[in-house]
Amino acid sequence: MTVVLDTNTVLQIFGARSPLARLKHALLSGRIRVAISTGIWLEYEEVVTRYGGAVVWTRVAQIFELAEQLRGNVLHVEPSFSFQLIAADPDDDKFADCAIAVGASFVITEDRHFDVLAASGHKPQPITPAEFIRRFLP
């Protein structure tokens, strides 16, 4: 199953005691594929560095790189079209565009701006990290 992780999810899954750590383990074990674009990667770097510092960002980047090397389940996607679905926060469009371009099943997020995906007619649906874990990673 292919997913896109919103930055708020990435911030939460890499803590050692995070209740969302199962997402990190699913990435490392190959149970999920994560799609990212350059814009998403740069936002991850900016926000994780801002809140956790450069050392934390280095660890997060290494986990993504390890998953990519070992499992091949980090998909690099550069959408050629902007669907402009997230009117409430256009900066979030990069996540929706990536998810649509790769045919992802879900955008894992706690951001309500992504609720517009549910009725958009596109495949990716918004889902909270806790709901995703409950339904797909018991």
Q: What gap in Å lies between CA 136 and CA 128, rounded to an integer?
A: 12
CATH architecture entry for 2-136: 3-Layer(aba) Sandwich (3.40)
- Sheet of 33-36, strands arranged across: 74-76, 33-36, 2-5, 106-108, 125-127
Q: Which residues lie below 8 Å from residue 111, measured CB to CB, with a gap of 6+? A: 6, 8, 89, 92, 126
Q: What does the pLDDT read at residue 118?
A: 92
- pTM, whole model, 2 decimals? 0.96
How do the pLDDT tens digits run along the chain, 138 residues long?
A: 999 999 999 999 987 789 999 999 999 999 999 999 999 999 999 999 999 999 999 999 999 999 999 999 999 999 999 999 999 999 999 999 999 999 999 999 999 999 999 999 999 999 999 999 999 998
Domains of the chain: which residue ranges? 2-136
